[in-house]
């Protein structure tokens, strides 16, 4: 009887070990999965459409989270300090690729590592801001997709003038502390001069500067051009609420600002850029060097108009413009 009980205990122990083994093996397997460090400039809710496009394209390319790929998500929530903290954490975790967007995020990642590949899904002028040496062969550990915002600044202003025909004085809200802010401000000013517009720069460095800035331009401008980046994205509802209160039509580069009450946006289709960023990540995970992968540019641009905001401001959107819009929010 004693030998029988001993044998049962042995088998039970063996069975428990066998049951535990797959979990231990799975944990070990997950630890060895190729890992992407995904750094968003604003919040997880704001970035969810981009994450969805990115992950879906990866799945189409054969990469599935928890099966043969791991993704570590971090969100800066518009705070410059968090960029650096998250990038440093990715280096400590030894991720295989860092994916981010917005010039500030790329700068932080590049400062944290010169070894781990960095893919930017969308950034301003990466050559002018010193992120890469040239578009065709970026060199180093950074590549991605450049939105070249300045190239479409003139187009945005022309579209805005169709809705605001008496546009003469244009205020421009920019985060002068951001790596791309001062550069884009000069480029928009050049486009405005071409159209004969008077510019009223509204420079901020933090969220607390937004409300006082609006007080400074109240009654002095006909419209507001918002230079998008992380601080603006995080505070886009507040910005558009203040703009409506000041009776200022707003123009933006991304549809998310128009969803938050802005008048109109014209710019690259970001979900498309994130799908293309997934293509670049796929190449890197399969052995390509980031410095050998050319920086690409947008091929899809969207015009989005908020008809509700137009009505609140007493503006009539020309039917021809509505007909060409990619999306009309009512």
**61-105 per-position pLDDT tens digit:** 999 999 999 999 999 987 878 999 999 999 999 999 999 998 889
Token pair, residue 77, equals 């929530």
**Whether 172 and 222 share a structural domain:** yes
Asked if pLDDT for residue 272 goes beyond 50, the answer is yes
124: domain range? 30-148+269-300
Per-residue pLDDT, 159: 96
Asked whether residue 261 is assigned to any structural domain, the reply reads: yes
CA separation for the pair 164, 277 (Å, rounded): 36
Q: Are 234 and 280 found together in one domain? A: no
Q: Is residue 179 part of a domain?
A: yes
Q: pLDDT tens digit string along 138-169?
A: 989 999 999 875 568 889 999 999 999 999 99
| Res 200: pLDDT | 93
Residues 131 and 180 in one domain: no
Q: Classify residue 34: in a domain, yes or no.
A: yes
How many CA atoms does the CB half-sphere of 223 hold within 13 Å?
28
pLDDT of residue 181 exceeding 80, the answer is no
Domain check: are 196 and 228 in the same one? yes
Q: Whose CA is closest to 174, among 188, 185, 190, 187?
A: 185
Count of domains forming the chain? 2
In a domain, 5, yes or no: no
pLDDT digits (tens, 9 = 90+) for 23-48: 444 444 445 899 999 999 888 988 89
| More confident of the two residues 92 and 6 | 92
Same domain, 64 and 131: yes
The answer to whether residue 101 is domain-embedded is yes
Instruction: Specify the pairing of strand 223-226 against strand 97-100.
Output: unpaired
Does a structural domain hold residue 199? yes
Model pLDDT, residue 31? 57
Tell me which residue of 285, 251, 1, 264 sits closest to 119, measured CA to CA.
Answer: 285
pLDDT given for residue 109 in this prediction: 95
- DSSP class of residue 318 equals -
57 contact partners, CB below 8 Å, separation of at least 6 = 274, 275, 276, 278, 279
């Amino acid at each position: 009887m004693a030998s029988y009980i001993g044998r049962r205990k042995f088998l039970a122990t063996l069975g428990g070990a066998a049951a535990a083994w797959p979990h231990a093996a799975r944990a070990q397997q997950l630890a060895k999965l190729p890992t992407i460090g995904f750094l968003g400039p604003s919040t997880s809710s704001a970035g969810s459409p981009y994450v969805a496009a990115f992950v879906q394209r990866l799945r189409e390319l054969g990469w599935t989270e928890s099966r043969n790929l791991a993704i570590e998500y971090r969100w800066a929530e518009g705070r410059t300090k968090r960029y650096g903290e998250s990038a440093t954490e990715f280096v400590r975790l030894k991720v295989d690729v860092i994916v981010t967007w917005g010039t500030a995020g790329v700068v932080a990642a590049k400062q944290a590592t010169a070894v781990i590949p960095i893919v930017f899904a969308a950034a301003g002028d990466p050559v002018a801001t010193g992120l890469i040496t040239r578009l065709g062969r970026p060199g180093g550990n950074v590549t991605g997709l450049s939105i070249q915002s300045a190239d479409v600044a003139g187009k945005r202003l022309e579209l805005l003038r169709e809705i605001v025909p008496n546009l003469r004085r244009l205020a421009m809200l920019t985060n002068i502390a951001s790596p791309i802010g001062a550069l884009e401000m000069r480029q928009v000013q050049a486009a405005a001069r071409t159209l004969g517009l008077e510019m009223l720069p509204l420079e901020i460095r933090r969220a607390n500067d937004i409300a006082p800035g609006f007080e400074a331009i109240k009654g002095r401008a006909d419209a507001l051009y918002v230079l998008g980046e992380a601080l603006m994205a995080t505070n886009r509802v507040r910005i558009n609420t203040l703009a409506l209160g000041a009776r200022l039509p707003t123009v933006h580069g991304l549809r998310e600002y128009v969803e938050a009450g802005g008048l109109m946006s014209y710019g690259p289709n970001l979900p498309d850029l994130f799908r293309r960023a997934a293509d670049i990540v796929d190449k890197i995970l399969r052995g390509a060097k980031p410095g050998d992968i050319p920086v690409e540019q947008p091929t899809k641009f969207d015009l989005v108009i908020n008809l509700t905001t137009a009505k609140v401001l007493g503006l009539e959107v020309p039917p021809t413009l509505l007909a060409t819009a990619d999306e009309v929010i009512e």
